[in-house]
Amino acid sequence: MAIEGGVGLILPTIPLRSSTDLKEFNVENKDAYFAYDQWFDMDHLKAGLAQACPRMKILHPDSLKTGQADRVVVKNDWELDVGKAPGYHAFTSHFWVGNPFSKYFDTELARLQREESHGMGEGISVIKIMAVFLLFRITDDPTGSDLELWNELGLLIRFLERPRTIVHNLMHQMVRPYYGVHFRVENDTIWGSLESQLALDLDALDDAWAMYGKRDGLGTNKPPVYVACGDEHQMSKFIEGGKARGWTVTHKWDLARQIPNPETVKMIDELAFDFQGAVDMGMMMQSHFFIGISGSAFSNTVAHARDVTGRYRGSSLREKIDDAGARSYLVHDGVASSYPCCL
């Protein structure tokens, strides 16, 4: 939004969901909000934006707080509700090249300056905008520039050192190559039953091995499977089901316990659920073949990132598809049909 609007950026604060009740996203809980640098590598973002957008000013939200030695004076404190944009419907993609955000922003900025400005005093104007889910239809641009921008921003958003260190440690323990599976069966799941998802995942593993095992020169032994899931108890059922079909299955806690230094287990356990997902994402990205579920934002994000285009181009289990090495397959569950164009 800041890039399209041609304005500066105050780094966002992001709510951390409950690690016990995953349906509680804490949107209304101010104490659960953490600044960008508590989620991601702020210096990495600022360095990249400094190269691409050298005139963009970037502020940490703490710099606006009263009492800070380097406090930035705020002249206007505005809010822009994209939910009131003409024709907007909740959880439906809205902005695209035929209805660009920049046009809407320029109109609203002119209105705010005209109707709510506090005059000619010194200070910046802060415009708070809710980051509405699935707001941009980023693939509906024939030039590809929207997708290019989205992909570049994705490269600027880097996780903090701790989850990256855990991935580094787990990769030293993981036998390679391996297949990765996102098993979405935590307590907030709205998808099919565990049994249904397990059967579909195991079928997909068998199909991937049949299609790519010999082609990729993996020998005669099936590669190990790393399962991404936030519920260790549920993963035991995948381990049992996989064993019955000749698959050796592991996960982050299992691997961490095999590392001579027990510190890695402690590091995982100390992470909130959302940050444990960062560990699993790192492991899914480096798997030889990835299997996810189409209704999961996590699965779609991984499938997008594994493809050189930045978009999941379809199942790598289709005979007539050139996946350029993405090696990904999302089990279709009929949910979240807008994810491919908007996530």
In the chain, list all ranges with CATH 3.40.50: 161-342
Which residue in 151, 136, 177 sits closest to 341, CA to CA? Answer: 136
Extract long-range pairs of 34-38: CB within 8 Å, 24+ residues apart.
35/11, 35/60, 35/61, 35/62, 36/11, 36/12, 36/60, 37/11, 38/160
Distance in angstroms (rounded) separating the CA atoms of residues 203 and 247 = 12
Would you put residue 200 in left (φ > 0), alpha (ψ -120 to 50) or beta?
A: alpha
CATH number listed for the domain at residues 161-342: 3.40.50
Using the predicted structure, report yes or no on whether residue 269 has a pLDDT greater than 80: yes
Asked whether the predicted pLDDT for residue 67 surpasses 80, the reply is no
Task: Dig out the tokens for 117 from the structure.
Answer: 């400005």
> Would the pLDDT of 336 be above 80?
yes
Is 31 in contact with 39 (CB distance < 8 Å)?
A: no
Whether pLDDT at 32 is above 90: yes
The whole-number pLDDT of residue 327 equals 97
3-state secondary structure (DSSP) of residue 294: coil
pLDDT category, 252, cuts 50, 70, 90? very high
**Mean pLDDT in residue range 287-300:** 96
For residue 244, pLDDT over 90 is answered with yes
pLDDT band per the 50, 70, 90 thresholds, residue 192: confident
Average the pLDDT over 218-229 and give the result: 94
Q: What is the mean pLDDT of the chain?
A: 94
Looking at per-residue pLDDT, the higher value among 210 and 319 belongs to: 210
Cα separation, 202 vs 310, whole angstroms: 26
* pLDDT at position 185 over 90: no
Which of 18-27, 178-187, 298-307, 319-328 ranks highest by mean pLDDT? 298-307
Q: Given this model, what pLDDT does residue 155 score?
A: 94
For the stretch 97-113, pLDDT in tens is 999 999 999 999 999 99
Is 139 a residue whose pLDDT tops 90? yes
Q: Which two tokens stand for residue 324?
A: 């350029």
pTM over 0.85: yes
The proportion of the chain whose per-residue pLDDT surpasses 90, expressed as a percent, equals 83
pLDDT tier at 186, thresholds 50, 70, 90: confident
Q: Which of 183, 184, 195, 186 is nearest to 226 (CA)?
A: 183
In the 8-state DSSP scheme, what is residue 131?
-
129 falls in which pLDDT band (50, 70, 90)? very high
∠ CA 69-74-76 to the nearest 5 degrees? 170
